[in-house]
Amino acid sequence: MADICVEIKIEGVVQGVGFRPFVYRLAKERGLGGEVRNTTEGVTVLAQGTPEAIEDFYHQLVGRPPRLALITTHRIVSRPNQNFRDFVIVHSRRTEKKDIFITPDVATCEECLREIRDPGDRRYRYQFSNCTNCGPRYTIIRDIPYDRPNTTMHAFPMCPECRKEYDNPADRRFHAQPVACPICGPKVKLVDAEENPLPGLGHRQLKQGKILAVKGLGGFHLACDTRNAAVVAELRRRKKREKKPFAIMCRDMEVVKRYCLVSGEEKDLLLSPAAPIVILHGRRDCPLPMDQLSPGLHTLGVMLPYTPLHHLLFTDGIESLVMTSANISSDPLIADNAEALDKLKGIADYFLLHNRDIHNRCDDSLAAVVGKEVQLYRRARGYVPLPVALPGDCSQVIACGGDLKNTFCLTKGNKAYISQHLGDLNNYGNYIQFLAALERLQKLLEVRPRVIAYDLHPGYMANRYVASRSDLMKVGVQHHHAHMASCMAENGLEGEILGIICDGTGYGTDGMIWGCEILAGGYGGFKRLGHLEYVPLPGGDATVGFPARMALSYLYHFFGDRGVAFADRHLKGLSEKEKQVVIKQIKNQINTVCTSSCGRLFDAVSALLGVCTRSYYEGQAAMELEAAVNPGAEGGYRYSVERLGDCYRISSREMWEDLVDDLTLEAPAGLVAARFHLTVAEMLAEAARLARKDTGISEVALSGGVFQNRFLFQRLRDILMRDSFTVYYHRQVPSGDGGISLGQAMVANEVIGHVSGRSGSCG
Ligand code: ZN
Ligand code: ZN
Ligand code: FE
């Protein structure tokens, strides 16, 4: 049959992901003539051959693209036959450089994995193997354009074999910037604490119960055998990490399934190119020491190996390892060899180092599947610097984020680029990292900001940077307004909406500490329609680690001396002296502010039930309270929502009366914890109904760190949906403070009046 010629246009994420070599191979295999080229819109293919071959080619092209590609549209039209002698990749230097944006680091692909396991392959057991479908990206980039000399691979000139692969359009490593092999690429080195070199990768040492510092993609991990409770406890002691869960890395899915319950969506997330830590429910018969790995919780943070070096650690009978970020308490993640050898002395027994530099430190991302959807709790490796698409064009803005779980955000065009999780900026090392990352990302993305957005909290470290930028317009954004705007932005919303924002701490426009807020508004501004009743926060922010003090504050606030007497009988974790100090602080208003924080309410109830009276990491009391819930329990407590002035007051006074009754009757903690969660969901929903009545708005955004509580989130979402609300929530961006930089950017952009293409209503 006569040949035909077609033109195929493909749009989506199709550049810098090995798409042209893939097209080239498909065409060659089918004996087609033609060409493939990058365009400003995507990729255009001309193909000529028999109708059967063309049909099969098209089918494969759109049906089985490379794993990092994402085809949004494709079209095929017929063209006159041409004189193609071959199939070629057409290079267009001009568009190529500009359009290939920086991609996140990608977990090792199946083909690379097969090679490192094949004794006949030249990359057998090579720890740094990668290709266009996988390998390091963001963590090694020093400058743009994304070419090898601009990455930390500049130190490793390609050998002739690698060069051949790099130059060959038919090869999986065509233009893979970090391409390497055992001859020319980076190398690993195992040393002891005195830097004496040792053979191997440390399998023997791990099996002997030693702690290894392992240099990874975005930083170091501390690794040890998960099944050895003694070494896990020793790692806690050395790292001074009392209770915070340790993430683990499992050899493969089979091992994960032996430890945890895994849904289809959770499996897909574990195996995704981003390979985040996924929060899974531990099996009842999980053979690991759960009380050492995840104290007080039933969940485990699990990830799969995402570099060849990781895969190679899981041989010799090792099936899972603790893989916790190597830093000391809240210091920055350690990323270079000398720093690791110095700072981890006394923590790690051995060091598995390598000589490829990490330019951009990047923690592991943390995610969970809620219902059937992915939610990101910490957005870093594997996701950064992918942008979030915005509903309209934005001015170029820097948004500084908050001090806890900091990220910053840069906007350009209709995209927002959120930095990797940078941790608590009150730690000076983290603040330095914040400054460095901000500088780098501005350069990589070529952002020239006009405006800088910041949180209103007068004590935030990030605001020191703001003060230094006298060249920029400054826009202060209220914390919970930023949470709401962040949720709106990632859902592509404009116009006005309701917000239920529940978190730990945010500076209010009245100088109080807010944290359970019913808002109405959009990017341009907000009204506070309601909030949780103010209670004293004795000792201010210092109380956060002491849930029992918060419980006493609630008891005293609602019941006075009767509450104190109840605390004497039922509240654990407070010494007599501590009690007196707390009461005195409240009575005399010493070092005491008022708060409507939802996080502190969870803290108080967690302590009241004896679940958690002392908190060693942010959210611990609430997480353990959620873990205590008996999910089958029913019932709820009383509450009230009443209008005071122009604002609704959500009061938990009646709930506390019922709680006290239940505890007096010695009701099981699981039942009380469940009733508490159900009551909070009910009272938030009731406040939303009243807000809807007043405003006529029935779209509601859920944001704030408290919504990482899956039990609460799902109950509240279900109630609201049953009540005909349209509910929006976070998926791409954390609902906690890691997400507020995005909201700040949107508000700042609106304030200076540069959103285009606005629709005026919610989508
Ligand atoms: Zn690969
Ligand atoms: Zn090589
Ligand atoms: Fe917050």
> 435 C-alpha to center of ligand 1: Å?
33
Q: Give the Å distance between the CA of 173 and the centre of ligand 2.
A: 11
Ligand 2 centre distance from Cα of residue 184 (Å): 4
CA 737 to centroid of ligand 3, rounded, Å: 5
Q: Which ligand is nearest to the CA of 109?
A: 1
Instruction: Identify residue 196 by its one-letter amino acid code.
Output: N
* 3 state SS of 68: coil
Per-residue pLDDT band for 696 (boundaries 50, 70, 90) equals: very high
Taking the CA of 157 as reference, the closest ligand is 2
* Average pLDDT of the residues of the chain: 94
Q: Note residues around ion ligand 1 (Cβ under 5 angstroms).
A: 109, 112, 131, 133-134
Least confident of 120-129, 210-219, 384-393, 712-721: 384-393
What pLDDT is recorded for position 39?
81
pLDDT at 753: 80
Q: Compute the distance from residue 92 Cα to the ligand 2 centre, in Å.
A: 27
- For 673, the enclosing helix (H) or strand (E) is helix 669-695
For the chain, what's the residue count?
Answer: 763
Whole-number pLDDT of residue 101: 65
Distance CA 90, CA 104 (A): 26
Q: Is the model's pLDDT at 379 over the cut of 90?
A: yes
Considering every ligand atom shown, identify the ligand nearest to the alpha carbon of residue 136 and give its number: 1
- Beta bridge mates, 34: 47, 87
Handedness of CA 200, 205, 207, 210 (dihedral sign): negative
CA atoms of 535 and 537, how far apart (whole Å): 6
CA of 316 to the centre of ligand 1 (A): 24
Gap from CA of 74 to ligand 1 centroid (Å): 26
Helix (H) or strand (E) run with residue 291 in it:
helix 290-293
pLDDT for the residue numbered 760: 33
pLDDT of residue 762: 27
Residue 156 alpha carbon to ligand 1 centre in Å: 19
Q: Which residues surround ligand 2, an ion (CB under 5 A)?
A: 159, 162, 181, 183-184
What is the tens place of the pLDDT at every residue in 649-660?
999 999 999 999
Ligand 1 centre distance from Cα of residue 179 (Å): 10
One-letter amino acid at 219 equals: G
- Tell me the per-residue pLDDT of 79-98, one tens digit each, with 9 for 90 and over: 999 999 999 988 765 554 44
Pairing of strands 366-370, 373-378: antiparallel
Indicate which ligand has the atom closest to the C-alpha of 186: 2
CA of 110 to the centre of ligand 1 (A): 7
Q: What is the pLDDT, as a whole number, of residue 15?
A: 77
- Is-contact 728 699, C-beta < 8 A? yes
Q: Closest-lying ligand to the alpha carbon of 171?
A: 1
CA of 404 to the centre of ligand 3 (A): 8
Bridge pairing between strands 592-595 and 647-651: unpaired
pLDDT value for 273:
96
User: Which amino acid is residue 724, in one-letter code?
Assistant: S
- For every residue of 712-728, DSSP letters joined together read HHHHHHHHHHHTT-EEE
- Which tens digits make up the pLDDT trace of 522-533? 999 999 999 999
Q: What is the DSSP string of 599-646?
A: HHHHHHHHHHTTS-SS-SSTTHHHHHHHHH--TT-------EEEEETT
Please state which of the ranges 224-233, 322-331, 694-703 shows the lowest mean pLDDT: 322-331
Cα of 156 from ligand 2 centre, angstroms: 9
Q: pLDDT digits over 166-186, tens only?
A: 998 888 998 899 999 999 999
| Centre of ligand 2 from the C-alpha of residue 135, in Å | 15
The pLDDT-based confidence of 638 (bands split at 50, 70, 90) is very high
364: tokens are 């592991």
Please name the amino acid found at residue 248.
I
Question: What pLDDT shows up at residue 196?
Answer: 98
pLDDT of residue 143: 86
pLDDT for residue 543: 84
Nearest bound ligand to the CA of residue 618: 3
Ligand 3 centroid to 480 CA: how many Å? 7
Q: What is the pLDDT of residue 13?
A: 79
> What is the dihedral sign for C-alpha 686, 637, 629, 518?
positive
Q: 59: closest CA among 101, 95, 8? A: 8
Within 10 angstroms of residue 752's Cβ, the number of other Cβ atoms is 14
Q: What is the pLDDT of residue 92?
A: 64
pLDDT at position 11 over 90? no
Say how many Å lie between the CA of residue 504 and the centre of ligand 3: 6
For residue 763, the model assigns a pLDDT of 25
